[in-house]
């Protein structure tokens, strides 16, 4: 009875260790690995074993953990005392998983759902890189003279995301670049689709006249637009021209 009490508060209970087949992925890729469970000092019943993709986002001055996706790896089972059990798994990383840029962190969380006890869990950070279309957009921004200076998951339920936040990629023009003195900031938000990538473009124009300063004071110097980039356009290096046309339209 005493061992069961200890297990219920996480002392001497089952332990879980997830071992991934890789630690770097692209959005939409298959994640595979094994869950290694070691029984504690007493047998335990598990309601389920689950895998979650977790990140964090900022809202005002606080940081919130958010589960992007979760799936059960196993139903109910019994782990005997000191038993070692291995359970393989595979799942698709969500296509809209944020990229591991700036302060963004992505984790694979494994949990054992133990009735009337503290759930043992394991957390493994992974690196999520841009897919071919996203990389083409990042390259286009760099070729146009912008440098990526900040990336954050920000609370923004009004920008059409299925999640309460969007990942904001904020760029500034490099000194001496073609948009230096014309653009204060370029912000891109990626929204993956089956046929490519939607991009919300927000442009903050630099004030260069009295009218511009008045616009800036009234926040009228911000311009919004949208792009859709297909894999074919990414392969043919068309993205730089597409992004340039949007910027030129709003900086004349």
**Domain assignment of residue 53, given as a range:** 2-128
d(CA 57, CA 66): 7
Q: How confident is the model at residue 5 (pLDDT cuts 50, 70, 90)?
A: very low
- Are 241 and 168 members of one domain? yes
> Token pair for residue 153?
């998951």
- Are 104 and 123 members of one domain? yes
- Are 197 and 88 members of one domain? no
pLDDT tens, residue by residue, 197-216: 999 999 997 544 434 433 44
- Are 10 and 119 members of one domain? yes
Asked if residues 151 and 125 have their Cβ atoms less than 8 Å apart, the reply is no
Number of domains in the chain: 2
Q: How confident is the model at residue 2 (pLDDT cuts 50, 70, 90)?
A: very low
Three-point CA angle 61, 103, 91, nearest 5°: 110
**How much is the pTM?**
0.86
Q: How far apart are the first and last CA of the chain?
A: 77
d(CA 203, CA 235): 25
Residue 131 confidence (pLDDT) above 50? yes
Residue 177 confidence (pLDDT) above 50? yes
Residue 23 confidence (pLDDT) above 70? yes
Tell me the CATH number at 9.
2.60.40.640
pLDDT for res 176: 79
- Are 124 and 143 members of one domain? no
- Are 172 and 118 members of one domain? no
* Percent residues over pLDDT 90 in the chain: 65
- Are 230 and 140 members of one domain? yes
Half-sphere exposure of 37 (CA within 13 A, CB side): 30
d(CA 71, CA 219): 43
Beta bridge partners of 131: none
Pick the more confident residue, 86 or 211.
Answer: 86
pLDDT for res 117: 56
Of 158, 144, 131, 150, give the one whose Cα is nearest residue 224: 158
- Last residue in a domain, options 128, 158, 192: 128
pLDDT for res 250: 83
- Last residue in a domain, options 128, 156, 175: 128
Asked if residues 250 and 205 have their Cβ atoms less than 8 Å apart, the reply is yes
């Amino acid at each position: 009875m005493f061992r069961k009490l200890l297990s219920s508060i996480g002392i001497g209970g089952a332990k879980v260790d997830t071992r991934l087949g890789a630690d770097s992925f692209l959005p939409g890729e298959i994640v595979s690995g094994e869950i290694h469970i070691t029984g504690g000092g007493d047998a335990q019943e598990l309601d389920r074993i689950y895998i979650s993709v977790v990140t964090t986002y900022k809202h005002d001055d606080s940081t919130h953990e958010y589960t992007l996706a979760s799936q059960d790896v196993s139903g109910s089972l019994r782990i005997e005392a000191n038993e070692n059990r291995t359970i393989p798994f595979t799942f698709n990383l969500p296509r809209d998983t944020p990229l591991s840029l700036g302060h963004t962190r992505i984790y694979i969380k494994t949990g054992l759902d133990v009735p009337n006890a503290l759930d043992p869990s394991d957390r493994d950070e992974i690196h999520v890189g841009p897919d071919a279309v996203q990389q083409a957009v990042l390259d286009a921004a760099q070729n146009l003279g912008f440098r990526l200076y900040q990336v954050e998951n920000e609370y923004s339920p009004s920008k059409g995301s299925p999640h309460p936040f969007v990942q904001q990629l904020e760029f500034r023009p490099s000194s001496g670049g073609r948009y230096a003195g014309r653009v204060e900031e370029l912000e891109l938000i990626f929204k993956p689709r089956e046929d490519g990538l939607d991009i919300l473009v927000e442009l903050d124009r630099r004030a260069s006249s009295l009218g511009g300063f008045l616009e800036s004071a009234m926040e009228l110097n911000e311009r919004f637009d949208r792009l859709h980039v297909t894999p074919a356009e990414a392969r043919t290096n068309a993205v730089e021209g597409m992004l340039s046309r949007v910027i030129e339209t709003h900086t004349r």
